[in-house]
């Protein structure tokens, strides 16, 4: 009954994993805020918004400060007073379950608002945005065929769902027009389009002192790190963003990933230490009673 080798191997695997982890949720939420930068004074961005005393969290809640103010941006045309954004990672799919889970979160948000605000909110004050890297074919088929809802393509990469209890849209990032949604469109782990990369470089250069842009670029660079022939290769356009060595870029890009996983590794290490202590105690107890541990 040897746990030492197993736990060491587990720690090694986790350490290897976190070094290359890409926090797609952070990248997406940063990209959305950047895309809506022209309307920053009208909006409030709340990431990982907690619903009451529950463990439920909304990836991004965007509050429109003036409820009647229209936001003339393709990704924000349906915005109400409170706007929930559910982000899927690049390796995840927007499933039927994820869709209804977020519908439930919207209901919980209404209940929370009505318990803390004098005015009464309804579904008319809420919008839902699902942001995904892949077209959710199974979900769309479910909504149109089983529920008889209308899914309409309102613009490139954006699909509006009619007759739902809330105003709902699905945004597919790789279908968005780059001239209007540069930061969302560039979110990929295979950024090889030099025109997009150069446009990103030029825009980033004007905002490189802002934390949200740095966080976005760190995640994007981490996502585009590739190991080929034993050396790390990064899109040349991304290298030019910082005008520095690849080693320095890689260190910056990985810092966010390390910050994401390190608390989990520390927690796992503490659990392993406790397990090891319990294991030693059991061995000693069995030894006192002449019982073999093997």
246, pLDDT greater than 90: no
CA 121 vs. chain centroid, Å, equals 27
269, pLDDT greater than 70: no
Q: CA-CA distances (angstroms) from residue 106 to 30, 68, 94, 112, 238?
A: 22, 20, 17, 10, 38
- CB count in 10 Å sphere of residue 53: 7
* pTM assigned to the model: 0.74
User: CA torsion sign, 172 to 177 to 179 to 185?
Assistant: positive
Q: Give SS3 for 83.
A: strand
Supply the pLDDT for residue 13.
Answer: 40
Nearest to 156 by CA among 142, 132, 172: 172
Is the Cβ–Cβ distance between 176 and 157 less than 8 Å?
A: yes
Give CA–CA dist 217/204, Å, rounded. 9
The per-residue pLDDT for range 108-142, each reduced to its tens digit, is 999 999 988 888 999 999 999 999 999 999 999 99
CA 236 vs. chain centroid, Å, equals 25
Supply the pLDDT for residue 153.
Answer: 96
Supply the pLDDT for residue 198.
Answer: 86
Parallel, antiparallel or unpaired: strands 226-228 and 231-233: antiparallel
Give CA–CA dist 36/41, Å, rounded. 10
Residue 42, judged by CB atoms within 10 A of its CB (0-12, 13-18, 19+), counts as: middle
Provide the H-helix boundaries in the chain: 4-19, 24-35, 96-116, 137-141, 182-185, 194-205, 211-223, 236-242, 246-288
How does DSSP classify residue 228?
E
Supply the pLDDT for residue 250.
Answer: 57
- Copy the structure tokens of residue 263: 């608390």
The per-residue pLDDT for range 188-217, each reduced to its tens digit, is 988 888 888 889 988 998 998 899 999 998
Q: What does the pLDDT average to over 75-96?
A: 94
């Amino acid at each position: 009954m040897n746990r030492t080798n197993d736990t060491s191997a587990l720690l090694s695997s986790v350490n290897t994993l976190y070094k290359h982890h890409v926090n797609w949720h952070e990248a997406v939420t940063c990209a959305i805020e950047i895309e809506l930068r022209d309307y920053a004074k009208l909006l409030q961005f709340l990431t990982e918004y907690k619903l009451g005393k529950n463990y439920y969290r909304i990836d991004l809640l965007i509050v429109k400060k003036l409820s009647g103010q229209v936001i003339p941006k393709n990704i924000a045309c349906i915005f109400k007073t409170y706007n929930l954004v559910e982000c899927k990672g690049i390796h995840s799919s927007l499933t039927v379950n994820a869709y209804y889970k977020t519908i439930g979160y919207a209901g919980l948000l209404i209940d929370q608002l009505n318990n803390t605000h004098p005015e009464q909110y309804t579904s008319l004050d809420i919008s839902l945005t699902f942001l995904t890297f892949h077209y959710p074919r199974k979900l769309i088929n479910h909504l149109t065929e089983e529920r008889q809802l209308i899914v309409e393509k309102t613009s490139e990469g954006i699909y509006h769902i009619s007759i739902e209890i809330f105003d709902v849209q699905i945004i597919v990032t790789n279908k968005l027009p780059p001239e209007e949604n540069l930061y969302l469109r560039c979110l990929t782990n295979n950024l090889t389009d030099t025109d997009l990369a150069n446009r990103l470089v030029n825009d980033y250069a004007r905002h490189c002192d802002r934390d949200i842009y740095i966080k976005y670029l760190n995640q994007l660079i981490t996502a585009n790190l590739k190991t080929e022939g034993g050396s790390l290769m990064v899109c040349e356009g991304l290298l030019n963003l910082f005008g520095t060595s690849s080693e320095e870029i890689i260190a910056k890009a990985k810092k966010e990933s390390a910050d994401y996983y390190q608390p989990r590794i520390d927690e796992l290490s503490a659990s392993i230490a406790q397990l090891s202590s319990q294991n030693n105690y059991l061995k000693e107890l069995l030894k006192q009673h002449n019982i073999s541990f093997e």
